[in-house]
Amino acid sequence: MLTIYGSRSYGGFCDQVGRRDFLKIGGMALGGLALPQLLRLEAAQGGKSQKAIINVFLPGGPPHIDMWDLKPDAPAEIRGEYSPIKTNVPGVEICELFPKLAAMADKFAIIRSLSDSDGDHSAYQCMTGRKKQDQPPAGGWPAMGAWASKLKGSVNPAVPSHVSLMYKVSHRPWGDPGDGGFLGMGHAPFRLVGGKDSGMKADSMVLQDVTLDRLGDRESLRTSLDKFRRQTDKTGAMDGLDEFAQKAMGILTSSALAEALDLSKEDPKFVAKYGVDDPEFERDGAPRMVRNFCIARRLVEAGARVVSMNFIRWDWHGPDGMNFVNSKRDFPLLDAGLSSLLIDLHERGLDKDVSVVVWGEFGRTPRLNNRNSRDHWPQANAAVLAGGGMTTGQVIGATNKYAEHPVERPIKFQEIFATLYAKTGLNLQSREFDLRGRPQYLIEPGTEPIRELM
């Protein structure tokens, strides 16, 4: 068995967690994904297009009315503390705490009328496009990345098609990237990050004496791999590896995945614009690892087709005006991370190929509660979409004067998934068979992509 561990000093993984399940090669799973099995499946797939999706999940229910759908003419107990600011798109306004995004609103589209949020505190609907309350097929619904892995295969054999930067958190549904469902575990996400472990200090985690932040030292890496091969040769273990398992070794020998994760390969001034990571987990949510926006971009450049990530904790209906206290701290982080990602995609010529979606499981109550915060509100939700060659610089849909529910162009999750799949080159009529042999479709029959974005 071969395992890569992280170190606390490594820029991409400062989450105070040991990487005992970070990457294992041999007969073991790769964070739930058997790499040799993945490679067998991907070898049988056609197409090498580098279309990709970055799925940014904001766990906890980000407040749509304070971010993308402000109501400045509403009473104070509804409009809250923030004022809208103009963007570079005439007539479009967003929260004053998003000045960087406001200056580039022509590069994204806002959906203000997401109408069918499940209401469950879970990433499930944002990962699969399905509601948890609906009866799943035998084997379960595949995540977005599982479909892409199955239908499009790999771009780079050394980089899995379906990759997760979803931190494992104590409220588990917020850190669940989904799995392969009835498509099989071979298409489950390759999990690159773990979670906090109160009993684990995140230093001295090594791969044969080489930590992740030293993978750039090719001589040390070569020595480490030679040592691993000698050890396994003595036991005859290497003789039992077929060509796909040996190909799996390419993840290390080519260093393609490790280099994608290594922010030291990036110009420091470009990394700095994303902001500074905060590895602390707040309560039951994800840490403020804002540079994961950069890592996500590097992963799709390396060949990943779908990268999912969870960012911060947005469940803000607690005491003392938590909604506004936390948003003053966290909105600017989203502003920096997302704007930097979109700028990088455009400057690198990836804006036609890489789609980005940013959303949470539901919105927030328009009326403030008695603690000056907002409670759960699945009746209205919002999403931001960018890249993929989509028609951006627009707002789609509208809610009523208090942001309570959509009154214009209601949009469903399935329509957003159809749009992302279409922009990634997937055939929306695709079907596969579940574990009972029943046909299941990529998208619910009759669902169309959002025409305004196409």
Residue 286 backbone phi and psi in degrees, to 5: -85, 155
Collect all residues with Cβ–Cβ distance below 8 Å to 297 and sequence separation of at least 6: 54, 341, 344, 345, 348, 350, 354
User: pLDDT of the chain along its 454 residues, tens only?
Assistant: 333 433 333 334 333 333 333 343 333 333 334 444 544 544 444 444 589 999 999 999 999 999 999 999 999 999 999 999 999 999 999 999 999 999 999 999 999 999 999 999 999 999 999 999 889 999 999 999 999 999 999 898 888 899 999 999 999 999 999 999 999 988 999 888 888 763 222 232 234 444 444 444 555 555 655 665 565 555 554 444 443 344 445 555 556 788 888 899 899 999 999 999 999 998 899 999 999 999 999 999 999 999 999 999 999 987 766 899 999 999 999 999 999 999 999 999 999 999 999 999 999 999 999 999 999 999 999 999 999 999 999 999 999 999 999 999 999 999 999 999 999 999 999 999 999 999 999 999 999 999 999 9
**Amino acid 47: pLDDT:** 41
Q: Are strands 394-396 and 354-359 parallel, antiparallel or unpaired?
A: unpaired
Output DSSP code: residue 137.
P
The DSSP output letter for 143 is: P
Q: Is the dihedral of CA 201, 34, 44, 136 positive or negative?
A: negative
For residue 195, what is the domain's CATH number?
3.40.720
Neighbour count for residue 173 (Cβ, 10 Å): 14
The whole-number pLDDT of residue 196 equals 79
Angle between helices 144-152 and 413-423 (to 10 degrees): 30
Rounded CA-CA distance 263/439 in Å is 43
Q: Is the dihedral of CA 202, 203, 204, 207 positive or negative?
A: positive
Distance CA(118)–CA(413), nearest Å, equals: 10
- Whole domain around residue 119: which residue ranges? 2-453
Predicted local confidence at residue 226, as pLDDT:
61
Q: CA-CA distance, 306 to 308, in Å (whole number)?
A: 7
pLDDT value, residue 157: 81
> What is residue 444's predicted lDDT score, i.e. its pLDDT?
95
Q: In Å, what is the CA distance from 414 to each residue of 131, 208, 354, 385, 410?
A: 10, 45, 19, 14, 12
Residue 253's pLDDT is 53
Angstrom distance (rounded) from CA 391 to CA 452: 7
**Strand, coil or helix: 22:** coil
Burial class of 235 by CB neighbour count within 10 A (0 to 12, 13 to 18, 19+)? exposed
Grouping H, G, I as helix, E, B as strand and the rest as coil, residue 95 is: strand
Give me the number of domains the chain comprises.
Answer: 1
Q: Please give the model's pTM, rounded to 2 decimal places.
A: 0.82
Between CA 409 and CA 149 the distance in angstroms is 32
- Give me the pLDDT at residue 447, please: 97
